[in-house]
Amino acid sequence: NAGVMQNPRHLVRRRGQEARLRCSPMKGHSHVYWYRQLPEEGLKFMVYLQKENIIDESGMPKERFSAEFPKEGPSILRIQQVVRGDSAAYFCASSPGTDSYNEQFFGPGTRLTVL
Amino acid sequence: GENVEQHPSTLSVQEGDSAVIKCTYSDSASNYFPWYKQELGKRPQLIIDIRSNVGEKKDQRIAVTLNKTAKHFSLHITETQPEDSAVYFCAASPMGTALIFGKGTTLSVSS
């Protein structure tokens, strides 16, 4: 009974490079959420996806950030031309999406460091 | 949109004492209120949640209460133990959408 999987767990990038973060939801879950946690701060919602659809991207910065959840494979959060301010822990969570309540389970996170 | 306020930001108690963390929310459409515990460098773990059609829920030493009229909910931990030391986050979710989190409470339990 694998939980939410994320990889890589740690990612180091230089300014201007691209970062790709992957998230595989729990078995049977079709909804994926991405959250960002800056050092010693709370979790901020970024984007909510279902298979092949972005449902809510109201928390996503308008530039450089994009997300997808293809029919096959993991959800991917992509950050282009990273800057030092992108350094954070990025968590994804999944939920079954079978009712109007929204029990979400989190993955271990990807800790992005931008040099 | 939804806004969640959480207090206190830090809480220190002696082992065996009770701890209470309070949150308020702004969106009356919110119907799901989970609490997460996060240890240093780890993922947030769901410890208890409450739905809007329930006023109180208990699981061993942990309980959560919800007052929909006042738009606030609270986490109660009884008989605290050193392993309860962590950061606790409350959250609110309107109708199956994203979780909006409070800023967290750092709980320290000293033996």
Six-digit token pair at B24? Answer: 């308020």
B1 at interface of A, judged by CB pairs closer than 8 A: yes
For residue range B49-69, list pLDDT tens digits in order: 998 888 899 999 999 999 999
pLDDT at A1: 54
Predicted confidence (pLDDT) per residue in A21-78, tens digit: 999 999 988 899 999 998 878 899 999 999 999 999 999 999 999 999 999 999 999 9
Is residue B38 very low, low, confident or very high in pLDDT (cuts 50, 70, 90)?
Answer: very high
Q: In this structure, what token pair is assigned to residue B94?
A: 């309107």
B105 and A CB contact within 8 Å: no
A contact set with B (CB within 8 A): 33, 35, 41-45, 48, 55-56, 58-59, 91, 93, 97, 99-109
Measured CA angle at B99 (ends A59, A25), to 5 deg: 90
Q: In this complex, do A43 and B51 lie within 8 Å of one another by their Cβ atoms?
A: no
Encoding tokens for residue B101? 């989190």
Residue A94 CA to residue A3 CA, distance in Å, equals 9
DSSP string, B57-91: EEETTEEEEEETTTTEEEEEE-S--GGG-EEEEEE
Residue in A closest to B32 by C-alpha: A101
